[in-house]
Every structure is written in structure tokens, then in C-alpha cells.
Chain A
Amino acid sequence: RKEVEQDPGPFNVPEGATVAFNCTYSNSASQSFFWYRQDCRKEPKLLMSVYSSGNEDGRFTAQLNRASQYISLLIRDSKLSDSATYLCVVTSPTGGFKTIFGAGTRLFVKA
């Protein structure tokens, strides 16, 4: 089983749609959780951190459920510019600080 698993995608949605990404992690000792965005042929960049209380940044909402070891990202009112790969990222203290990336979910937003 992979340490971080994401929806395989790709997701094809029209502008204005709401889209949800799901992610699960296997190590219950994981400490920090993030969503990163990676545009084609670019490096990953932090989109938002994920907290147990949930957090929202404009059209983006992230949720963490530690009991279920589940992370989600919701994008409302999708824009063309949201088209990218979304990476679920988990840090683990096992063997020292280590960041594990999910395989990513590709999103295509179409006009």
C-alpha cells in the first residue's frame, strides 16, 4: 500500500464547477499535511496547509480527518487557471523528518 494515495484522475470540469480531491495516508504518526499545486513543467508550490479544524482560503477549503487518515481539498467556482496537478503531501517523523508526495490528481477546467 502506498503511503499517500490520491484519486487517480484526471478530473475534467467546466468553469464554475465545484471539484473535490481526496487523499488517504497510511502512517498514523504523520504530523503535517499539505496540498501542493504543480503546473505543467514547473516545480510544486504550496497551495495550503491542512489542519484538523479545517481551513479555507478563498475558493479553496481543506479538511483533515486524523481518525480516518483522510485529507480533502474542495475547489469552488473553478477557474481555467485552476488547471494543474494537485499533490497531497504528508510529513512523517519516521526515520527523521520526511515528506511523502501522493501521485497527484490532474485537473482540467474547461470553458
Chain B
Amino acid sequence: SAVISQKPSRDICQRGTSLTIQCQVDSQVTMMFWYRQQPGQSLTLIATANQGSEATYESGFVIDKFPISRPNLTFSTLTVSNMSPEDSSIYLCSGYGARQGSDEQYFGPGTRLTVT
């Protein structure tokens, strides 16, 4: 299995500022993803974090707003830029492919963001 940690676990930020969330996996994973989960709703995929290249964004999400880095197979960051109250959500990092033959996707504990 893979254990995923995220920092910070929560934050309260002012509108117009930016926050970078870090995701660390304790083993190499093939793929890493960033999701958003708003209260009472399911997970929405923001992007796939690609090692050493630009992330692949889903419809409705753009690099200028959510820049992502993935310098190696165990670490990724997501920045929420120029925040507004609508960005208040839980942001979850996920890893896939930790073990050959396993199709399980692992999740970090999430970062609870509140924008005032």
C-alpha cells in the first residue's frame, strides 16, 4: 500500500492570496492526481500531475488558477491562486500504481481550505 500525507491539513486564507498544498507519497507511484471535494459532494478531478512536465487539466480547471508541480515520483504540489470564497473546499491528493498489479488508488487525508 501507499501512505500519502498532505500539508497543510487546513488553512484559512484571505481572498486574492495563494496557497500551495504539498503531497508526499511514501513510495513511488505511477500517477498522481489532485481532486476537489466540496461539502456534501463527491470528488471532482482537477488534474493529473505528470512527472517533469505540465499537468493535464480537466475541463473547467486551468493552469493559471491551479498550477501543479511533480518533480519526482513521490511528490507533488498544487497551488490555488488568487483565491476567492468559491475555492473553499477540500483538496485531495491521490496516487495510483504503487504496486504492480494493483489497481487501487490511494488518497491523502485532504487539505481543508476556507477562503474569507
Contact = CB atoms under 8 A, between A and B. Distances in A.
Contact of B31 (A43, A44, A97): A97
Contacts of B108: 43
Nearest to B103: A32
Interface in B80-116: 92, 94, 96, 103-105, 107-110
B33 A43 contact: no
B53 interface: no
Interface in A54-104: 87, 89, 91, 95-104
Contact of A46 (B35, B48, B104, B109): B104
A103 B42 CA distance: 5
B43 interface: yes
Given A49-B103, A98-B48, A44 B109 contact: no
Contacts of B103: 32, 34, 49, 91
A99 B45 contact: yes
Interface string B25-54: 000000101010000011111001000000
A87 B41 CA distance: 11
A91 B96 CA distance: 12
Contacts of B105: 34, 46, 89, 99
B48 to A, nearest CB: 7
A7 B107 CA distance: 24
Contacts of A43: 92, 107-110
Contact of A96 (B35, B41, B43, B48): B48
Nearest to A46: B104
Contacts of B48: 96-98
Contacts of B56: 95-96
Going nearest first, the 5 A-B pairs with the smallest beta carbon separation are A43-B107, A101-B43, A103-B42, A101-B42, A46-B104
9 contacts: A43-B107, A43-B109, A45-B107, A97-B31, A97-B48, A97-B96, A98-B48, A99-B94, A101-B42
